[in-house]
Each structure stands twice: as structure tokens, then as C-alpha cells.
Chains A and B, each alone.
Chain A
Amino acid sequence: MGYFREAGKIGMKANNMEIKTSWLKSSWWIILLIAAGIAAPRVISEFYLLILGEALIMSLFALSFNLLFGHMGQLPFGQAAFYGLGGYGIAMLLTKYQINFWLSFAAGIGLAALAGLIIGIFCVRLRGIYFSILTLAFGQLIFVIIYKWHDFTGGDDGIQGVFPPEFLKTPVSYYYFILLVFCLAAFILWRITNSPFGYILKAMRENSERTEFLGIPIARYQLVAFVISATFAGLAGALWAPFYRSVAPSTLMWIKSGEPVMATILGGAGLFFGPVLGTFIITFFHAYILGFTHFWPIIMGALILIVIFFLPGGVLGFIKEKLDNRKKKEQQS
């Protein structure tokens, strides 16, 4: 294990140098996007600001999913359970027990992390399609418990009146709060994927047997990644509840678990910001389509099939491929 850690560190050093030299060249667009995010409330209407806030929260959710899917190579289909538990944690502590907002916020995330640990212990024993089935099943179990435990959780009524503190009550201030949390969380996740730990996850994705033979306890690494993913999904849920002023059991449902999967495949799972792009496309497209029809799922289903058949690497993967091709051509000529 120590050997591999060292190997990972060496890999990271080489990578870091690469990052440093290309930092200014490749990250100008991140700075540009953050600037655009800060300027957004002055430019767009309140309606689109709310959609933008939703897109950021869902992007965080999709990023937490892609830590397991894109980087570790396992497809969890029950992430909505952690997202919903984050939301329910903060909502119940705030409304039922009148606990301080920040404590409730932290407790919601903690609840998701704890659930991630308990469910993860069972799920990381399996790989591939079995892992997907089991995560889906556990996710649905949590949904059923919250849905049926009417006395405690409000059942299908959900919980209303989840208010943020006074200074975050306007849409603009809460939007800035979302933007700040999103940037911090995305940065942490980015660091995790580029750490020795992240490289071990990638090694497990490429060849789990060989990684195991190198002395890596893959189940333990998988469990840690699972808990991290659940924690960030819970963070997204805890951000959502005060934003929407309520939570409903639909936040825990399997269909919610499918959303980050769709967004990631659409944007491109192989790239760190793929899930973010996919989420933005879906969220704004959704807001646009709802003006015409309620039959959103059928459009979504058709969109998934189109992406699978015609854009195998996702939108960002497609763009990257075109850019790489152009570079190659330039080098040749």
C-alpha cells in the first residue's frame, strides 16, 4: 500500500508540474465563469436566477455522483437517498426542533454521510451492475421509510417552512451563498480526484484486480469514496431545502437518482466539469420545455437515447475530441 501511495505521489508531482505550466492557459475560462456567476444577478431576471441556483445545486449533486462513476468506475443508482437525507436533516431540525440554521445544515450533511457509511459497507462488497442494483435498492428503502413514516417525517406532505437565516432570505443573497458553497465544494472534489487517493480510485476503475494485487484494500477505498460522495450529495440536498423552503419525498426517489446519471452522461463522464455542463443543459432545457408540456420524462428519455447513440463521450467529450483533432492537424501541418 505504501508503495502505491508513493507511486501515486510521483504521478501527482508530474501532474502538478503539468498543471502549473498550463494553469493560466487552461483555467482562464474557470475564472471567466466565476466572474459570470458573480455578475449574473445584475444581468438576468429573478426567474432565471432561481433556475441558475437550481442548476448549481444539481451540478454539485452530479459532481458527487461522478466521483464514483467517472473516477471510480462504479455506477450508483441511489444517490438521491443521500441528497434527500441532507434536505430532510436540515428541514426537520429547523422546523421541528428549532435548532440553529448552521447546526442543522451541518447535521443534514452529517446524516447523509452516516447513511453513506452504513449503506456503503454493504454496497462496496459488490461491483459493476450488482453495485448499481444494490444502491438503487437501498435508496428506494430510505425513500419508502420516509414516505411511510408519516408521524415523524410528514410522509407525502413533506416539510414546509424551511427558512434560511435573515441575511440569506432574498433570492440574490441565497444565490451568492449557493455559488460560494458550489465553488468551494467543486474545488475540494477536484483536489480529491487529483490526489493520490483519486489516482487509486482511477487505478481501481481501470483494473480492480491488479490494483488489489498491489496491496490496495479496494473495498476500503471504495467505502471512503462512497462516504465522500454521499457527503457531497447531502451538502447539495441541505442547500436545496432552504432554497426551495421545503422538502418532499420526491427528492429521495429513484427518478431523482437518475438525474445526475443523465446529466453526467450528457455532459461527459470522463471530464471533471462534464457533469456540470450536462446539468446546466438539462436544467435550463427543463425550465424551457415546461412552458409547453408536462410530458418532460418522455423528452428526457428520448434525449438520453440520442446522447447514448450519437454522442458517446457526452457534449464536453465531443468538444474536446474536436479540439484535440484540430491540435493534431495543426501539429501535422
Chain B
Amino acid sequence: MSFDVLFNQFLSGIARGALLFLVASGLSLTFGVLRVLNFAHGSLYMLGAFLSYSIWKWLLIPVYGFYVATLLSALAIAGIGLLIEYTILRRLYARGWPEQLLATYALILIITDIVKWFWGGEFLSIPRPEPFTKAVFLFDFPFPSYNFFIIILGLVLVFFLWWLVYKTRLGDIIRAAAHDRDMVSALGIPIPWLFTSIFVLGAFIAGLSGAVTAPYGAVALGMDIEIIIECFAVVVIGGMGSLPGTLLGSFIVGQVYSFGIMYKPELALAFIFMVMAIVLIIRPWGIFGRPER
């Protein structure tokens, strides 16, 4: 096993981790503020991927249409998020979490059927956009340059969320609401408005991350549950609702996945779970999580 093979695998792991961070950060942000685990986050991601494909096809700009389609589908998913929060979740905040979980589970069933209805069960894909069409050679190994796009997007999102959560007034409210929701409400902050905007932001990130997976050529039914399971591993390892935890968790899961695939492809997921089990034995709340009562 030479250095260049390992380096290549490491970079693939970074790209995988960046994609996981894109999806898991929205999940974690929503959970951190609303205390609602959105099971349907993966379904919004899947819907975003399918929507971006259809928008891209409809636009007839094969080269740069991808960027437009990505933005439009993310906005559309944000709109669907608004609809879901306003009509369903809002009525359930006062109820127990099992009902909230079940409601988002119902959304998985509904969204899956809608996707099946409109797009059928085929694999769809968008060609890689300029300037990320070619492979880059690193130590004589071809590495898809599109992966760099994903990594850059992941980094941009990290900085955006860090800025949002730690440097803005909304961020102060977000952190305060995650800590003590009643106190924030008592200080005159409109909690329903806060919850709606955070859920819509989470949905936007889900749609965006789904849209950018379209050039990987894996837009198909079932991609929702596949990613959400790995995202659960990410947030369990890193700690639910924690931004640094999600980042670290994505990095770990991406690396374990990438090297696991090299070693034994069938067991890649099993390796992730082994890491998760070890973390749970040492820190049941995840590396950056705090105990929940």
C-alpha cells in the first residue's frame, strides 16, 4: 500500500465527508433549535436532487444550467419546507417527540410516493458542470475535480453556519433558544417565527445538497434513506445539535467509509457502525454533545 493510494483514498473520504456535512448540518441545525428530529430531511434531499434534474432538463443550458438548477431547486425545497413547517410541524411542538418523529416519518412515505409518481424508478444524472468536468491527476491517480466543488461547497457552508451561529444576532437567538426556549420566548423573541426560519433554512440546505449530488449520477429512489442513516451516524458520533460535532462526525464517517470501501466494499457501513459503537461506549452523547433529559 503506497502513499499515493492512501492519499487518494483520504481525498475521496474528504469529499464524502463534505457531502455528509452538507446534509447532516441541516439536520443538526433543525434539531438543535426546534428539538425536532426531521426524519424527512433525507427525503427533502432526494426531492432536491430530482427537482434539479428536471429543472436542468427544462432550462436547456447543458453547460452552466447546473448552477441555476441547483439554486432554483434549493429554493423550491425551502418553499416546501415552509409549507411543511407551517401546516404540520407547527401544530406538534406542544406534543411529545414520538408524534413529531412519526409525522416526519409520514412525510417520508408521502414524498417517496410523489417522487415515484413523477420520476419513476430510474437512475438519473446530470453531466458534470464546467469547470469541473475533467479529472485532476494527483500522484498519477485520476481524481474527479467535481469532488473539489463539493469540498469547497462544504467549506463555504461551514463558514456560513459558523458566521450565522456565532457572529449574528440571529445566531445569538439560535444558541439561546437551543439552551432555554422559554426564556427566549419570555424576552419577547417570536419563537414561531424563529422556528419557521430555521426549518426553512434546513430545508434549503437539504435541497442544495441533494441538487449537487445529481452529477454523481445517483439520483434514484432510496437515496434518501441511504444518506439519512449515514447522517444519523454523523450526528451520533459528533453530538446532536452541535456544529463542530457535525463537522468532526462528517470527517470521521467520510474517512471510515472511504477506507472501508477500499478494504471491503460490502462492510463499509459496518465499519462506520463500529466507530459509532466505540464512541457511544466512551461518550453516549457524542463527542461534542451534551446529555439530554
Contact B229 A136 (CB under 8 A): yes
Complex CA distance for A309 and B99, rounded to whole angstroms = 9
Complex CA distance for A252 and B108, rounded to whole angstroms = 18
List 9 interface pairs A-B (beta carbons < 8 Å), by A numbering.
A126-B284, A132-B101, A141-B270, A258-B105, A262-B102, A265-B98, A300-B109, A309-B91, A312-B95
The stretch of B47-55, B146-154, B175-183, B272-280 in contact with A is B272-280
Q: A81-134: which have CB < 8 Å to B? A: 122, 125-130, 132-134
1/0 contact trace for B247-275 toward A, CB 8 Å? 00000000000000000001101100100
If A148-B266, A309-B91 are given as contacts, then 20 extra A-B residue pairs at C-beta distance below 8 Å, sorted by A number, are A77-B101, A122-B281, A126-B280, A129-B101, A129-B292, A130-B292, A140-B229, A141-B273, A144-B270, A145-B270, A149-B266, A254-B225, A255-B109, A265-B99, A295-B116, A298-B114, A300-B106, A302-B106, A305-B88, A305-B103
Question: Does A163 interact with chain B (Cβ within 8 Å)?
Answer: no
Complex CA distance for A209 and B225, rounded to whole angstroms = 34
Given contacts A128-B292, A130-B292, A145-B270, contact A301 B101 (CB under 8 A): no
Complex CA distance for A148 and B260, rounded to whole angstroms = 15
Judged by DSSP, the binding face of B is helix
Contact B106 A304 (CB under 8 A): yes
Q: A278-320: which have CB < 8 Å to B? A: 295, 297-298, 300-302, 304-305, 308-309, 312
Contact A298 B280 (CB under 8 A): no
Residue picked from A128, A130, A209, most chain B C-beta under 10 Å: A130
Contact B280 A134 (CB under 8 A): yes
For A304, list chain B residues within 8 Å (CB): 102-103, 105-106, 109
For B91, list chain A residues within 8 Å (CB): 309
Question: Does B92 interact with chain A (Cβ within 8 Å)?
Answer: yes
Question: Does B113 interact with chain A (Cβ within 8 Å)?
Answer: yes
Given contacts A297-B112, A301-B113, A305-B88, contact A137 B232 (CB under 8 A): yes
Contact A134 B236 (CB under 8 A): yes
A308 to chain B, nearest CB (A): 5
Question: Does B174 interact with chain A (Cβ within 8 Å)?
Answer: no
Contact A136 B232 (CB under 8 A): yes
For A133, list chain B residues within 8 Å (CB): 37, 232, 235-236
Residues of A participating in the B interface, judged by any CB pair closer than 8 Å:
69, 75, 77, 122, 125-130, 132-134, 136-138, 140-141, 144-145, 148-149, 209, 254-255, 258, 261-262, 265, 295, 297-298, 300-302, 304-305, 308-309, 312
| Identity of the chain A residue whose Cβ is nearest the Cβ of B116 in the assembled complex | A295
Contact A301 B102 (CB under 8 A): no
Complex CA distance for A144 and B265, rounded to whole angstroms = 12
A95 to chain B, nearest CB (A): 22
Complex CA distance for A217 and B266, rounded to whole angstroms = 38
Q: B78-132: which have CB < 8 Å to A? A: 88, 91-92, 95, 97-99, 101-103, 105-110, 112-114, 116-117
Contact B280 A144 (CB under 8 A): no
Question: Does B240 interact with chain A (Cβ within 8 Å)?
Answer: yes
| Identity of the chain B residue whose Cβ is nearest the Cβ of A300 in the assembled complex | B109
| Identity of the chain A residue whose Cβ is nearest the Cβ of B108 in the assembled complex | A301
| Identity of the chain A residue whose Cβ is nearest the Cβ of B284 in the assembled complex | A125
